[in-house]
């Protein structure tokens, strides 16, 4: 009795999979999610490159700030590690943008009509064995599993990752992005002349500390958004799909 229930449940799920493959309710939401994520990463990448350029200008302008060598060296000590972090930060943002681009490409592949047609044929073969309570050939089960993952895993993971990001980290992202997009570091010039060296260096340290803090937060957010959450969701999706395949073996055995 239990075996019959599993078998009919698998038949129903297989039919639903074919319907969803052609109906594609997640495809539009997944594309929107990828576009939003890509836009965020590109904006942050551009911000990092602009900050890097600003720091380079600030470093080159050190000579006009103070006639003393000690003042120049102190400014350089503050700017150099921040500039190095900004370069690494921009590389992470570029990698995040590439990751979103790969997701977009994977969605295009998954949305192909030929893939839905292949899935339909494979499900028909799967149902043929289920209805006759015969063991499903291993090659058929493997190809069906891979096709199912290609068709549904990326849209489901993309939508789930974006939903998690918006629910948990949207406010943190906005706050950190606002800080790193704020005015450039205080330049040695007209503003700095009106201040003592200690005041100028204090402003520079505050800017550097804020930038470091929020850039690290953004790095963590994008790694979470493009690696950790998608990886966990994909793992769960694969485990569920393998359970589906194992139940098919049981029902036919």
pLDDT of amino acid 95: 93
pLDDT of amino acid 51: 83
Q: pLDDT 10s digit of each residue in the chain, 253 long?
A: 456 777 777 788 888 989 999 988 889 999 999 999 999 999 999 998 888 887 777 666 554 444 444 444 456 666 778 888 888 999 999 999 999 999 999 999 999 999 999 999 999 998 888 888 778 888 888 898 889 888 999 999 999 999 999 999 999 999 999 988 876 665 555 444 445 666 777 777 788 888 889 999 999 999 999 999 999 998 988 888 777 666 656 555 5
Single out the residue of 99, 92, 104 nearest to residue 35, CA to CA.
104
pLDDT of amino acid 60: 62
pLDDT of amino acid 12: 84
Query: What is the rounded distance in angstroms from the CA atom of residue 21 to the CA atom of residue 9?
Result: 18
pLDDT of amino acid 184: 63
Q: Residue 242 has which token pair?
A: 């393998």
pLDDT of amino acid 27: 93
Q: Residue 35 has which token pair?
A: 């576009």
Assign 185 to helix, strand or coil: coil
> pTM above 0.85?
no
Single out the residue of 129, 120, 72 nearest to residue 248, CA to CA.
129
As a three-state string, the secondary structure of 38-85 is HHHHHHHHHHHHHHHHHHHHHHHCHHHCCCCHHHHHHHHHHHHHHHHH
Question: CA triplet 182, 186, 190: central angle to 5 degrees?
Answer: 130
Domain boundaries along the sequence of the chain:
2-252
């Amino acid at each position: 009795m239990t075996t019959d229930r599993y078998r009919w449940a698998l038949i129903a799920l297989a039919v639903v999979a074919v319907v969803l493959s052609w109906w594609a309710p997640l495809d539009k939401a997944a594309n929107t999610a990828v576009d939003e994520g890509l836009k965020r990463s590109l904006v942050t990448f551009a911000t990092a490159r602009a900050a890097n350029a600003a720091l380079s200008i600030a470093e080159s302008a050190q000579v006009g700030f103070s006639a003393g060598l000690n003042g120049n060296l102190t400014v350089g000590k503050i700017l150099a590690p921040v500039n190095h972090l900004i370069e690494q930060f921009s590389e992470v943002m570029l990698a995040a943008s590439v990751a979103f681009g790969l997701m977009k490409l994977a969605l295009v592949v998954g949305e192909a009509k030929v893939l839905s047609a292949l899935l339909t044929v494979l499900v028909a073969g799967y149902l043929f064995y289920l209805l006759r309570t015969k063991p499903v050939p291993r090659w058929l089960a493997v190809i069906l599993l891979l096709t199912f993952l290609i068709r549904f895993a990326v849209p489901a993971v993309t939508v789930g990752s974006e939903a998690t990001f918006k629910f948990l980290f949207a406010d943190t992202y906005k706050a950190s992005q606002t800080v790193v997009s704020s005015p450039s570091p205080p330049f040695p010039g007209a503003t700095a002349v009106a201040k003592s060296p200690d005041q100028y260096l204090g402003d520079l340290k505050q800017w550097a500390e804020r930038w470091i803090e929020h850039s690290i937060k953004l790095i963590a957010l994008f790694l979470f958004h493009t690696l950790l959450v998608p990886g966990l969701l994909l793992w769960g999706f694969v485990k569920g799909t393998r359970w589906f395949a194992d139940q098919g073996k049981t029902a036919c055995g």
